[in-house]
């Protein structure tokens, strides 16, 4: 029996079967492909569909306009895709900043001594004790709102949970033999943190980024919906949903239905990617 045939037959003699790891990988790739298609599609769609066309106002969904048109004749499919790309960009920037803060504070809490650990643990408990949305609105308002305010607000409110995980992971690594040897050789705390501990927490930071993104994009859409986020001239999902509220009573249901569903699908895709990547990186799931 050649190698190819042997690899396609399991121990029971039956044909090759996908295990849980293969299914997780397939679902993750599918979700990632959908997100990538949305991002790339936003650059390929014509921008002139965002301009006003009064002759085509308030049209319901059709083959020509998949998501219909709004009260200014703008194509809702183009607005939705470009709005999703804009919200994804804001959410990813804010989530990346939040992950950087979480990784830095987690390393400092576990390596800079008991005083630093107490201060950072107190900050984590303080931020976790206040609802994200309340703190986010306050920070965005103080920062002047707009794109900068949203990114700063989301970045400064989504790091505590991940920082607590990183701190616990680094505290466990401190007892490793190679870390103890480096200490006896006179290596500094930051040298040990960068050379020994940082490579071990990179998977946690990556998964944390993917898991923080759904919260970031939903909170960005929430404060934009309330009028404290992005400018009304930008086609963000929160703005689209906010503008559509006044037209729902007239029967123009498609203005809020399709953007809302697409936002939930994108958020769910990132949620799936994050959960599945966490299980794929987990050695306990390696052979399931």
pLDDT above 50 for 1: no
State the pLDDT at residue 14.
47
pTM score:
0.76
Average pLDDT over residues 122-149: 82
Token look-up 């390393």 returns 107
Share of the chain above pLDDT 90, in %: 1
Q: What are phi and psi of 16, to 5 degrees?
A: -65, 135
pLDDT above 60 for 18: no
State the pLDDT at residue 17.
53
pLDDT digits (tens, 9 = 90+) for 29-74: 888 888 888 888 778 877 776 777 778 788 888 888 888 888 888 8
Query: Which position has the higher pLDDT, 279 or 242?
Result: 242
State the pLDDT at residue 170.
84
pLDDT above 70 for 11: no
21 band by pLDDT with thresholds 50, 70 and 90: low
Q: What are phi and psi of 41, to 5 degrees?
A: -60, -30
pLDDT digits (tens, 9 = 90+) for 244-265: 888 887 888 888 888 888 888 8
Closest CA to 220 of 233, 208, 234, 236: 236
Share of the chain above pLDDT 70, in %: 87
State the pLDDT at residue 221.
83
State the pLDDT at residue 284.
53
pLDDT above 50 for 177: yes
Domains of the chain in sequence order: 21-39+73-285 (1.10.3720.10)
pLDDT above 50 for 125: yes
State the pLDDT at residue 235.
76
10 band by pLDDT with thresholds 50, 70 and 90: very low
Token look-up 């219909």 returns 68
pLDDT digits (tens, 9 = 90+) for 200-258: 888 888 888 888 888 888 888 888 887 776 777 777 888 888 888 888 878 888 888 88
100 band by pLDDT with thresholds 50, 70 and 90: very high
Average pLDDT over residues 79-107: 88
Average pLDDT over residues 120-132: 86
pLDDT above 50 for 158: yes
From first CA to last CA, the distance across the chain in angstroms is: 26
Q: What is the distance between the alpha carbons of residues 191 and 185, in angstroms, rounded to a whole number? A: 12
Closest CA to 61 of 47, 43, 80, 42: 80
Query: Which residues have a Cβ under 8 Å from the Cβ of 8 and sit 6 or more positions away?
Result: 15, 16
CB 94, CB 158: distance < 8 Å: yes
């Amino acid at each position: 029996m050649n190698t190819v045939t042997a690899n396609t037959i399991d121990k029971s003699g039956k044909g090759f079967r996908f295990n849980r790891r293969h299914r997780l990988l397939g679902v993750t790739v599918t979700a990632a492909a959908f997100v990538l298609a949305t991002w790339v599609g936003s650059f390929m769609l014509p921008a002139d569909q965002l301009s006003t066309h009064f002759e085509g106002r308030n049209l319901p969904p059709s083959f020509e306009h998949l998501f219909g048109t709004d009260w200014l004749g703008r194509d809702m499919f183009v607005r939705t895709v470009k709005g999703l790309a804009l919200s994804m960009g804001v959410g990813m920037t804010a989530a990346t900043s939040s992950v950087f803060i979480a990784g830095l504070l987690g390393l400092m809490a576990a390596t800079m001594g008991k005083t630093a650990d107490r201060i950072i643990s107190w900050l984590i408990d303080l931020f976790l004790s206040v609802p994200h949305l309340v703190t986010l609105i306050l920070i965005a308002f103080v920062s002047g709102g707009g794109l900068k305010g949203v990114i700063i607000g989301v970045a400064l409110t989504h790091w505590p949970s991940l920082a607590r995980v990183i701190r616990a992971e680094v505290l466990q690594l401190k007892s490793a033999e190679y870390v103890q040897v480096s200490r006896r050789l006179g290596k500094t705390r930051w040298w040990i943190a960068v050379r020994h501990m940082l490579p071990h927490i990179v998977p946690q930071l990556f998964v944390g980024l993917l898991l923080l993104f759904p919260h970031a994009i939903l909170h960005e859409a929430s404060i934009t919906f309330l009028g404290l986020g992005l400018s009304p001239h930008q086609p963000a999902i929160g703005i689209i949903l906010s503008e559509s509220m006044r037209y729902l009573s007239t029967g123009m249901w498609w203005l809020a239905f399709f953007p809302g569903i697409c936002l939930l699908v994108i958020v769910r895709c990132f949620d799936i990617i994050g959960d599945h990547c966490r299980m794929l990186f987990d050695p306990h799931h390696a052979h399931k």
